[in-house]
């Protein structure tokens, strides 16, 4: 796999392709970042962007993980003391999950977001940004039903973080796209460059195949789950024998979340996937790429129950090191 393909593997969008192609020509010393609110245990959403950071490290990038304690406070996720305690645990989990400790810098937002220069730039960005524009950017990221002033400031800080962390590439899920577009539009008004960004997909709800897989609804997989809990959640997942499932009762398009997790979590981290089956059902199967597994599921060669069994096994392998950290 060439460097550009590795950088963009499983990306939903890059902004822009020309900018990322230029980075791929000389990736050594380039820096990428993702920001995470320290609001709980690592779950499958964190792991998706972490997989991309692992790809980028393999491509030659240095990686910064922003443990966004100030953002978490603005989003009403607890006191600074509680948030910092969570952040320390998350840092250990990211390394256990597979980030290269020697090439990963962990930064707390409070280490620079209280500085005078940052505050003055934040005020300048507030002047340059309309209320409607800030509200559109915050829509995907706020917690709670009632919008607060802090929620409007939140995406402006995210935009400014890209400059203050001195990174070349901002990584986030598609729910961060509006923030990154705001940064591209408004940071030049402060004399800064428009940042380059890469967006990962949003996985569908595990049990329904629609909407967003969310830790708040209890239908996700996290590092605190035991092997038995992982198996239970995966076995209850929606997995029709087709890549184009029928719409749900309300007409919403469905995805196959089992295939999504194989594609975005398992195959990037393992050279091959082995599906164990008794000889009477055809014996074991081995897949070196996602497409082969998806084709066999659709053709009927691979039964959904066997696919789920294999998925639980490989998810457990990914999660086990972090689960051990939680027990320490």
Q: Give 47-79 as a DSSP string.
A: HHHHHHHHHHHHHT-EEEEEE-HHHHHHTT---
3-200: CATH, from 3.40.640.10, 3.40.50.620, 2.60.120.380, 3.40.50.1370: 3.40.50.620
Q: Give the 3-state secondary structure of residue 43.
A: strand
Q: What is the pLDDT along the chain (328 residues), one digit of tens a residue?
A: 899 999 999 999 999 999 999 999 999 999 999 999 998 899 998 999 999 999 999 999 999 999 999 999 998 899 999 999 999 999 999 999 999 999 999 999 999 999 999 999 999 999 999 999 999 988 766 666 677 889 899 999 999 999 999 999 999 999 999 999 999 999 999 999 999 999 999 999 899 898 888 655 556 899 999 999 999 999 999 999 887 888 887 888 899 999 999 999 999 999 999 999 999 989 999 999 999 999 999 999 999 999 999 999 999 999 999 998 887 7
Tell me the domain boundaries of the chain. Answer: 3-200, 215-327
For helices 44-59 and 80-97, the axis angle rounded to 10 degrees is: 50
Nearest of 83, 90, 24 to residue 58 by alpha carbon = 24
Which pair of tokens denotes residue 109? 């937002």
CATH number, domain 215-327: 1.10.240.10
In the chain, the DSSP E strands lie at 13-15, 31-36, 62-67, 104-108, 169-173, 196-200, 273-275, 285-287
pTM score? 0.93
The full length of the chain comes to 328
């Amino acid at each position: 796999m060439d460097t550009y393909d590795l950088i963009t593997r499983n990306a939903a969008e890059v902004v822009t392709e020309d900018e990322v192609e230029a980075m791929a020509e000389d990736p050594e010393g380039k820096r990428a970042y993702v920001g995470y609110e320290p609001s709980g245990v690592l779950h499958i959403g964190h792991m998706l962007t972490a997989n991309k950071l692992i790809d980028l490290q393999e491509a030659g990038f240095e990686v910064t993980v922003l443990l966004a304690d100030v953002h978490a406070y603005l989003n009403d996720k607890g006191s600074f003391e509680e948030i910092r305690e969570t952040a320390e645990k998350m840092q250990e989990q990211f390394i256990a999950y597979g980030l290269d400790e020697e090439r990963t810098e962990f930064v707390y937002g409070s280490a620079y977001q209280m500085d005078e220069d940052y505050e003055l730039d934040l005020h300048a960005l507030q002047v340059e940004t309309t209320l409607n524009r800030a509200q559109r950017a915050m829509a995907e990221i706020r917690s709670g039903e009632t919008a607060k002033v802090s929620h409007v400031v939140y995406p402006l800080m995210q935009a400014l973080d890209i400059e203050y962390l001195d990174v070349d590439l901002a990584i986030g899920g598609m729910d961060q796209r509006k923030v990154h577009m705001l940064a591209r539009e408004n940071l030049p008004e402060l004399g800064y460059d428009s940042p380059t960004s890469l967006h990962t997909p949003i996985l569908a709800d595990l049990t329904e195949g629609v909407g967003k897989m969310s830790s708040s609804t209890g239908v996700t997989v996290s590092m605190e789950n035991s092997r038995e809990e992982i198996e239970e959640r995966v076995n209850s997942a929606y997995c029709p024998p087709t890549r184009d499932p029928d719409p749900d009762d309300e007409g919403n398009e469905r995805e196959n979340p089992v295939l999504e997790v194989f594609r975005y979590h398992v195959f990037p981290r393992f050279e091959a996937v082995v599906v164990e089956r008794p000889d009477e059902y055809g014996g074991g199967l081995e897949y070196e790429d996602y497409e082969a597994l998806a084709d066999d599921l659709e053709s009927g060669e691979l039964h959904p129950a066997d696919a789920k069994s294999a998925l639980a096994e490989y998810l457990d392998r990914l999660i086990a090191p972090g689960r051990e950290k939680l027990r320490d």
